[in-house]
Each structure stands twice: as C-alpha cells, then as structure tokens.
C-alpha cells in the first residue's frame, strides 16, 4: 500500500465503505489522509461529575433514564442522566433521535461538550460520545473527531485512518524546498493532524498545511496577474485638456481621493495591457464620477464602454447620472436591461457604435449583443458578479483585444482578502468623503418603542424629507413565523399607510416587474412618494439625497455590511440623517447591531463582518466554497503575509511550477476560480 493506492487496499475497507468515502472525494490513501478531523476531544481531561463547572467539559459516565420528546415544530429532544461514582448530570441532544438506541446498558462512555444553563436547568448540550473502551486508556490523549459520512461514524473513520498511519511519512513536499523553510515537514504535519497528542505540535501542523493552501492561492493570483499582462488592450490616450474641462464642469470639487483614483485609472488606460482595477470606496464616497471620468476618456479615444450594475434600478440610475454627467460633452449613453422595450434598436446601435456608453444589467453580456469597439468595462458592486459573467464580458471585446476593467465596490475588502482572493487586482481607494457630509445618527430601537419612532419620522416628513422603510421578507411565511415576528413588506406597507396618513407611501420589492419597480422608484426620486417601504432591493447604490431616514425592521436579521449599505442610502445630501435599527424582539441587541451603532467606518465594519460571518458569505459564497480551503482561513493575516512573501520569492527566483506537479494542479484550479479574464 502506498499513497496512490485505492482505499480499498486498506484492510477492512470494502466496496460499501469505499463508496461512502467517494462521496466526499476520498478515493486514494492520499485523499484519505487529507480528510482532516473537524475537531478534537481531549479525553484525558475527564473529571468527576460532582466537580464540573459551566463550560467545556469531559466526563466518563453511564447513561440512565433516556427520554425522547417531540416538539410541535418538528424538533426532537433526547434527554438522559449521566451517572458516575460521584453524581449525575443532565445531557440533552437536539434532533438526534438515534441517541435513544445508541447506548448499551451499564457501559461507560466519554461525553464531551458544553455544560451550561439551558431551559432553566444546567445540562450538557449535544455532547459528542465515545465508548470508553474504544478510547485507549493512557495512550491517545487527544482524539480526532471526524465528520461522519453517512453510516460511517467518526470512530469508524478513525479506525481506517489508523491503518494508514505508517504512510504519512511518504508524503512528499508540495512546496519547493526553499519555501518550506523552517516549517514542519508536510508528512509530519499530516500525521499530527490525525494522531497528534500535543497541542503545540498540532498547532504547527495546522500552520504548515494552511500555509500550503495560502501559498497556492496567492501564487494563483500572481500568476493570473502575469497572464493578464500578456494580453493586449487598446491604449487610451489621456486627453488632459478635455478631461480638465469635464472636471471643471462638475457641480462640485473632486475630493483628493477621487483625483488620485482617477489619475491611477487614466494611467492604466494608457497602457496596452488591460487594466484590472478595483475602485473601493465606502457608500457615498463618490465612485460614480470617477467611473464617469474613465468612461469619458475611453469615449474620447473612440472606444465604447459597458457599465454593468447588479440591479435594474441601479442600472437605470447610473444611466441617468452618466447621461447628465457626459451627455453635454457629446457622449451618447444608452440603457439596456432585460426588458428594454427598444432593445432591438439599441442592440443595433451598440453594434454600429452609435452608443458610446451602454449601461445595463446582465443583459449587457447576453447573447446577440455585439460591441463595435468595447474598450472599457465598468462593473459596479463587483463581488456580486460571478467569474463566468466576467469572462463573458471579456469575450465581447473587439478582435483579440481585452477590455480594460474597472470594478467598483462599497464593501471594503480587508487587506488579507486583497492578497488572496483578489490578489490580481490593483486597488484604488476612496478614503475621503466629499465635503459637507453630516454624520448619520444611528440608533437601535426596541419594537416596543416604535410609536416614539413614528413621531421622529413625522418630524422629518413635515420638513419635506423622505423615508426608507426596509423589511426583510416579502410575505410572512409559516417557517419564518416560528422564528419570531417577521414584518412582511406588504403588511408593513398597509400599516405605514395608516401611520403616515397624508403622505404618499410606495412599495418596492424583488417580486415586482421591472416596470412596476421603475414607476415606484421614479416617484421616490422625484419626491412624489415620501415613504418607501422596501426589501433590500434598495440596498445598493440608489441615490436620493432628500431621503434622511432609514428605518430597518428586524435589523438583527441583516449582515453588518448589508446594514452599512442600507444606512448609506441616507445622508447623501447636506441634511442631518438618521438610521433606526428596529430589532425583531425586545431582547438585548446583538453584537452586530452594537458595532453598526458605534461606527460609520465601512472598513472597520467590513473587518468585523469578516470576523463574524467569514468571507464566504460576504464575497460570493460559491466562489469561495469551491476554493475548498480545508485548514487555512483567508483572513489569517499573519499567515497570508508569510505566504505572500514566499510566493513573491518563488517567482523572483524564477521558480517554475512544472517541477512541482501536485502544486501546479492546485494552483491551476485556483487560477480558474479567481481569474478575472
Ligand atoms: P458611491 O460611491 O456610493 O457610488 P455616488 O457616486 O453615488 O457614491 O456619490 C454620492 C453622492 O455624492 C452623489 O450625489 C454625488 O453627486 C455626490 N458627490 C460625488 N463626488 C462629490 C464631491 N467631490 N463633492 C460633493 N459631492 C460629491
Ligand atoms: Mg454607487
């Protein structure tokens, strides 16, 4: 048996077991060794029941008085008394009815888990269980716990793992010798992951294997960047005179950050390699005008620009803004969405080059849309677009030349992610707000005090201001009902009409047709609608400077970045603005809400969001999920730095992946998943 042997060559692994392993991609002994434990239990810490205190505990006990109860909502609860010589304690398992038949009478088991107050009593909740005789006394102290695969339980997997123990050492280094440096050897690290007995060694093992993953990820980004440098793009000559004129014609002075970013962009555009730049700036920092300036430059050079937005509302608003900004300079702006009535005519114009700047949603990259000379693509809220869509956009470019790419995002990307997931992008940052902005006042409101809130809102309405009122769901569903009182947008709409009689109330949600949405949005922009009851459709980019109040219902159901985005819809003019976060119940607000109440700094909040939710949810789950990092955390800044330095050195020293077959495979996969081209 060696690392490449099929796992059926491991003693005790038959066809059936092999099939189960195949479900999680484990086919060879090598794959098996990379099926890492999901947790560890230290059974040597087992103490007497009479001594336990709240917190993580391990006890060795017999099971008595097993009881199963079912709640109406479908929840099952197994309850038991754990008994040792010193006393007894209660254990409960939620939704694990099989526990009823899992224990043998009079047999001792180890139970490990959290001992805490729940439902009025102290109990051990969802403890993991090992039969005491299965845990080698005095031998293994720390036991690996594996994620069960169907009928294959942790213990079964551990047993199979034990049989391949000896081949860990055969594992060759994934990384070039020079890179490995002082890190633990790979084979040793893999061994430690499964059979380690000392915390310190196991920590080093995690660091080592995490480093492998991050090194490959960072290297993939850097290689993509190098590949990108080989592509040809049209050079856009910078027309200083006319651009200066454009800037002079704006109704405001550009901020220093806007000038700097615009300068970085026009310099990129002059080059014959495609720009690959992310314009990152908090909500309201003024990204649109920077993009507008880039559009103007490209058009002056005879090119076309595609401006892609994630929603139709936003596309519509961008088209309008750009028309206002550029129309007077002879630039022809068109809006192409999925339902454009004049679609055919517009597509014809795009092909003939009669439109200079085409704004739209995904319709911009749909079948049959041919550009005459696509030189620049601007993508707003870039992390909402998948890799495939970006690729399609690239294919629309004029004969063989790649378009320059400018992505914009208001969700700041923490440094660690910039180096890993977004490694190939150059970044311009708008870290300065336009002058005259008044800080938005944020307040958490208990649902018990909404009456007082309505009074505050009414004051704003009387002053002529407008209100956003955001709910999390469209209709009340039974499922959500059981989690508490979710305010359905339609019901709230009816309610708000009664609360704010005399003021026009509008309704906006994702299930409306785009025509319906447009009508409401136009009425809100024009000031006819005073209170807009909406779902998160209004989350990104919408700009109504007269709106001064953002009320978010069930605010605890939203993510931090999402709340920050929502808050960014107000405070866009010179009026004092307010954001009221109404919680779903009157219990004490979550950490997330307290963070958002405390800070208006998008960068700080993004970092917190990353800590609370992890990168997958925020920066495109699918994309990140496929990256399949088993050990490393992309937000582990120290390790990311180390991996980045190593990748730089590897490339500088002329390292060639051809000599590292296994690494090359992994890097190529990452390259495909993270590339922008
Ligand atoms: P975002 O970065 O969120 O996309 P926008 O581009 O929508 O922000 O700009 C927000 C508002 O700020 C707009 O009304 C815009 O006209 C205005 N604005 C942009 N730049 C400046 C500036 N330098 N000075 C004053 N107002 C500005
Ligand atoms: Mg914007």
- Per-residue pLDDT of 632-666, as tens digits, reads 877 788 898 999 999 999 999 887 888 888 899 88
Predicted local distance difference test score (pLDDT) of residue 478: 46
Best CA proximity match to 219, nearest among 651, 675, 637: 651
Does the structure show a pLDDT above 80 at 673?
no
Q: What is the number of the ligand closest to the CA of 307?
A: 2
- pLDDT-derived band at 141 (thresholds 50, 70, 90) equals low
Q: What is the number of the ligand closest to the CA of 546?
A: 1
Does the structure show a pLDDT above 90 at 537?
no
Predicted local distance difference test score (pLDDT) of residue 487: 58
For residues 531 and 507, give the distance between their C-alpha atoms in angstroms, rounded to a whole number: 9
- pLDDT-derived band at 474 (thresholds 50, 70, 90) equals low
Strands 142-145 and 121-131: unpaired
Q: What is the pTM of this model?
A: 0.74
Q: Which range scores top for mean pLDDT: 153-157, 382-386, 423-427, 457-461? A: 457-461
Gyration radius (Cα) of the chain, Å: 29
Going edge to edge, which strands form the sheet with 578-582?
441-445, 578-582, 547-552, 466-470, 531-534, 505-508
152-179 burial, b at 16+ Cβ within 10 Å, e below that, comes to bebbbbbebbebbeebbeebebbbbeeb
Ligand 1, pocket-test mutation among 257, 359, 428, 434, most atoms within 8 A of CB: 434
- pLDDT-derived band at 437 (thresholds 50, 70, 90) equals confident
- pLDDT-derived band at 235 (thresholds 50, 70, 90) equals very high
Does the structure show a pLDDT above 60 at 332?
yes
- pLDDT-derived band at 422 (thresholds 50, 70, 90) equals confident
For residues 318 and 295, give the distance between their C-alpha atoms in angstroms, rounded to a whole number: 12
DSSP class per residue in 621-649: HHHHHHH--SS--TT-HHHHHHHHHHHHH
Judged on CB neighbours under 10 Å (0-12, 13-18, 19+), 323 is middle
Q: What is the number of the ligand closest to the CA of 284?
A: 1
Does the structure show a pLDDT above 80 at 589?
no
Does the structure show a pLDDT above 90 at 513?
no
Predicted local distance difference test score (pLDDT) of residue 482: 38
Strand, helix or coil for residue 102: coil
- pLDDT-derived band at 284 (thresholds 50, 70, 90) equals confident
Q: Ligand 1: residues whose CB is within 6 Å?
A: 252-255, 258, 281, 283-289, 410, 434, 541, 543, 545, 572
Predicted local distance difference test score (pLDDT) of residue 386: 56
Mean pLDDT for the stretch of residues 179-207? 90
Does the structure show a pLDDT above 80 at 81?
yes
Residue 106 contacts residue 133 (beta carbons within 8 Å): no
628: left (phi over 0), alpha (psi -120 to 50) or beta: left
List the structure tokens of 201.
């060694």
Predicted local distance difference test score (pLDDT) of residue 579: 96
Q: How far is the CA of 286 from the centre of ligand 1 (A)?
A: 3
Predicted local distance difference test score (pLDDT) of residue 5: 94
Does the structure show a pLDDT above 70 at 476?
no
Taking CA atoms only, the protein residue closest to ligand 1 atom 17 is 286
Mean pLDDT for the stretch of residues 614-625? 50
* Among 42-51, 487-496, 628-637, the least confident range: 628-637
- pLDDT-derived band at 576 (thresholds 50, 70, 90) equals very high
Predicted local distance difference test score (pLDDT) of residue 174: 86
Mean pLDDT for the stretch of residues 540-559? 87
For residues 298 and 372, give the distance between their C-alpha atoms in angstroms, rounded to a whole number: 13
- pLDDT-derived band at 560 (thresholds 50, 70, 90) equals confident
Strand, helix or coil for residue 351: helix
Does the structure show a pLDDT above 80 at 104?
yes
Q: How far is the CA of 281 from the centre of ligand 2 (A)?
A: 9
H/E element, 315: helix 312-326
Q: How far is the CA of 423 from the centre of ligand 1 (A)?
A: 28
Residue 657 contacts residue 664 (beta carbons within 8 Å): yes
Handedness of CA 595, 598, 600, 603 (dihedral sign): negative
- pLDDT-derived band at 675 (thresholds 50, 70, 90) equals low
Predicted local distance difference test score (pLDDT) of residue 676: 57
Mean pLDDT for the stretch of residues 242-257? 95
Ligand 1, pocket-test mutation among 259, 288, 309, most atoms within 8 A of CB: 288
Residues in the chain: 677
Q: Which range scores top for mean pLDDT: 127-136, 248-257, 383-392? A: 248-257
Mean pLDDT for the stretch of residues 198-211? 91
Packing angle between helix 560-567 and helix 602-613, nearest 10 degrees?
A: 150
More confident call, 140 vs 516 = 516
Predicted local distance difference test score (pLDDT) of residue 677: 41
DSSP code, position 275:
P
Mean pLDDT for the stretch of residues 396-404? 77
Does the structure show a pLDDT above 70 at 451?
yes
Predicted local distance difference test score (pLDDT) of residue 246: 96
Mean pLDDT for the stretch of residues 84-110? 90
Taking CA atoms only, the protein residue closest to ligand 1 atom 23 is 254
């Amino acid at each position: 048996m060696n690392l490449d042997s099929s796992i059926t060559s491991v003693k005790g692994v038959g066809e059936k077991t092999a099939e189960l392993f195949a479900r999680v991609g484990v086919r060879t002994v090598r794959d098996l060794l990379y099926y890492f434990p999901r947790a560890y239990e230290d059974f040597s810490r087992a103490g007497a029941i009479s001594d336990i205190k709240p917190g993580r505990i391990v006890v060795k006990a017999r099971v008595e008085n097993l009881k199963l109860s079912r709640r109406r909502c479908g929840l099952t609860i197994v309850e038991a008394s754990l008994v040792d010589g010193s006393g007894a304690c209660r254990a409960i398992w939620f939704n694990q009815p099989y526990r009823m038949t899992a224990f043998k009478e009079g047999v001792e088991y180890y139970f490990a888990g959290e001992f805490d107050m729940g439902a009025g009593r102290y109990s051990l909740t969802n403890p993991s269980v090992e039969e005491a005789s299965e845990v080698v006394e005095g031998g293994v102290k720390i036991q690996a716990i594996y994620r069960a695969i169907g009928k294959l339980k942790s213990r079964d997997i551990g047993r199979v793992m034990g049989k391949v123990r000896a081949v860990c050492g055969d594992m060759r280094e994934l990384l070039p010798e020079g890179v490995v440096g002082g890190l633990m050897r790979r084979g040793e690290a893999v061994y430690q992951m499964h059979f380690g007995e000392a915390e310190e060694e196991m920590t080093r093992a995690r660091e080592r294997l995490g480093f492998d993953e991050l090194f490959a990820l960072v290297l993939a980004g850097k290689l993509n960047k190098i590949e990108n440098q080989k592509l040809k793009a049209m050079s856009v000559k910078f027309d200083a005179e006319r651009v200066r004129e454009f800037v002079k014609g704006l109704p405001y002075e550009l901020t220093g950050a806007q000038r700097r970013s615009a300068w970085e962009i026009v310099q990129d555009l002059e080059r014959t390699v495609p720009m690959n730049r992310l314009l990152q700036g908090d909500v309201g920092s003024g990204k649109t005008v920077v993009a507008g300036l880039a559009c103007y430059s490209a058009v002056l050079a005879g090119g076309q620009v595609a401006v892609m937005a994630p929603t139709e509302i936003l596309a519509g608003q961008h088209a309008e803004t750009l028309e206002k900004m550029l129309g007077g300079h002879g630039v022809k702006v068109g809006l192409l969405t999925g339902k454009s009535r004049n679609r055919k005519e517009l597509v014809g114009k795009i092909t003939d080059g009669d439109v200079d700047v085409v704004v739209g949603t995904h319709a911009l990259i749909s079948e049959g849309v041919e550009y005459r000379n696509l030189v620049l693509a601007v993508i707003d809220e870039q992390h909402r677009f998948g890799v495939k869509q970006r690729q399609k956009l690239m294919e629309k470019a004029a004969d063989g030349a790649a378009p320059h790419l400018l992505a914009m995002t208001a969700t700041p990307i923490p440094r660690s992610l910039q180096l890993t997931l977004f490694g190939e992008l150059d970044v311009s940052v708008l870290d300065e707000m336009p002058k005259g902005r008044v800080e938005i006042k944020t307040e958490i409101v208990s649902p018990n005090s909404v009456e007082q809130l309505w009074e505050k809102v009414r004051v704003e309405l009387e002053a002529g201001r407008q209100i956003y009122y955001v709910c999390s769901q469209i209709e009340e569903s039974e499922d959500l009902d059981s989690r508490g009182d979710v305010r359905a947008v339609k019901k709230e709409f009816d309610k708000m009409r009664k609360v704010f009689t005399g003021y026009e109330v509008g309704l906006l949600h994702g299930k409306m047709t785009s025509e319906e949405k447009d009508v409401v949005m136009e009425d809100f922009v024009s000031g006819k609608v005073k209170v807009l009851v909406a779902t998160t459709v209004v989350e990104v980019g919408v700009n109504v400077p007269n709106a001064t109040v953002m009320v978010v219902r069930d605010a605890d159901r939203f993510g931090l970045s999402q709340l920050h985005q929502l808050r960014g819809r107000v405070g866009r003019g010179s009026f004092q603005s307010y954001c009221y976060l109404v919680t779903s119940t009157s219990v004490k607000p979550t950490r997330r809400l307290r963070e958002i109440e405390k800070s208006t700094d998008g960068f700080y909040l993004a970092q917190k969001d990353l800590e609370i939710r992890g990168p997958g949810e925020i920066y495109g789950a699918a994309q990140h999920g496929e990256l399949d990092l088993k050990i490393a955390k992309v937000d582990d800044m120290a390790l990311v730095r180390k991996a980045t330095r190593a990748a730089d050195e590897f490339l500088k020293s002329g390292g060639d992946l051809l000599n590292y077959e296994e690494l090359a495979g992994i890097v190529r996969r990452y390259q495909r998943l993270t590339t922008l081209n």
